[in-house]
């Protein structure tokens, strides 16, 4: 099937930079695990009480630096949209416009290839790339949990970390899908700018909605960030509404991809 051929070709093209990003994230995880010291953060609850509420909201629904789950969440997972998301948003926002600007799309679409195969093939490259990064992060995390001497006294539930990383994967995919959607009908600059603008808007609405007027706080439900809270698993040890959030983020990505295909099919691109 041509879809898989396109996906494979695009994955090969982007493999080196994605591998480099994966290695950088693994080093970052290594640093986080190596500096973790529960005794260093004893009494952190009293210190956190002095922090502004806005800072607490930004870091997540539950704060705990005395456990590796809480520390890992605050230092890494809660900011995955910066460490990993920005890279893929930048790439996805420029994806389709780049093929138009350099005229390669003319050659591609002149072949017996359906437009939906072209769009979906290029999109799946991002999904598999994000999966590769998260897979590297997960393997590194689990290995370090087994061998790091400063974690031997920690009670670690590997299944919780698995689901938290799965949540991070689905979340980053949804952010990337937003950028990819804009790329099918806008130029590079507009698509990337609008994607970053939407990410900032989602962050503000999904994180600081409690500061809005009470009658407009339900606007939080339009934000992808509202449906991403790994601290619920790694700190509160709760799976309440996690399946709901998985399905909403996944459903959002599916709808946006379908919309991307529909728009691109109707776009006038002479070949």
pLDDT, position 65: 78
pLDDT, position 246: 98
Look at residue 60 and tell me whether its pLDDT is greater than 60: no
Residue 112 backbone zone (phi > 0: left; psi -120 to 50: alpha; other: beta): beta
Domain extent listing, the chain: 2-266
Span 190-215, pLDDT tens digits: 999 999 999 999 999 988 888 888 88
Residue 133 CA: distances (Å) to CA of 5, 84, 114: 21, 8, 30
Look at residue 57 and tell me whether its pLDDT is greater than 60: no
Span 217-258, pLDDT tens digits: 899 999 999 999 999 999 999 999 999 999 999 999 999 999
């Amino acid at each position: 099937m041509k879809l898989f051929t396109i996906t494979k070709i695009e994955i090969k093209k982007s493999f080196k930079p994605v591998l480099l990003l994966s290695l950088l994230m693994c080093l970052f995880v290594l640093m986080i695990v190596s500096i973790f010291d529960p005794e260093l953060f004893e009494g952190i609850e009293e210190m956190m009480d002095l922090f502004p509420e806005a800072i607490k909201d930004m870091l997540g629904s539950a704060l705990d630096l005395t456990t590796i789950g809480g520390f890992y969440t605050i230092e890494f997972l809660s900011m995955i949209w910066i460490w990993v998301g920005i890279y893929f948003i930048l790439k996805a926002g420029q994806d389709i416009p780049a093929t138009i600007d350099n005229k390669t799309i003319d050659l591609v679409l002149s072949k017996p290839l359906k437009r939906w195969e072209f769009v979906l093939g290029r999109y799946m490259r991002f999904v598999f790339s994000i999966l590769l990064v998260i897979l590297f992060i997960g393997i590194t995390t689990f290995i370090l949990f087994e061998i790091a001497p400063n974690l031997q006294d920690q009670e670690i539930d590997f299944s919780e970390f698995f689901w938290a990383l799965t949540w991070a994967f689905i979340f980053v995919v949804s952010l990337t899908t937003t950028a990819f959607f804009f790329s099918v009908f806008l130029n590079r600059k507009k698509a990337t700018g609008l994607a970053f603008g939407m990410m900032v808007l989602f962050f503000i609405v999904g994180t600081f909605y409690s500061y809005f007027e009470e009658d407009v706080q339900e606007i939080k439900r339009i934000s992808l960030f509202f449906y991403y809270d790994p601290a619920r698993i790694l700190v509160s040890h709760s799976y309440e509404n996690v399946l709901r959030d998985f399905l909403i983020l996944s459903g959002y990505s599916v709808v946006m991809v379908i919309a991307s295909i529909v728009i691109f099919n109707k776009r006038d691109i002479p070949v």
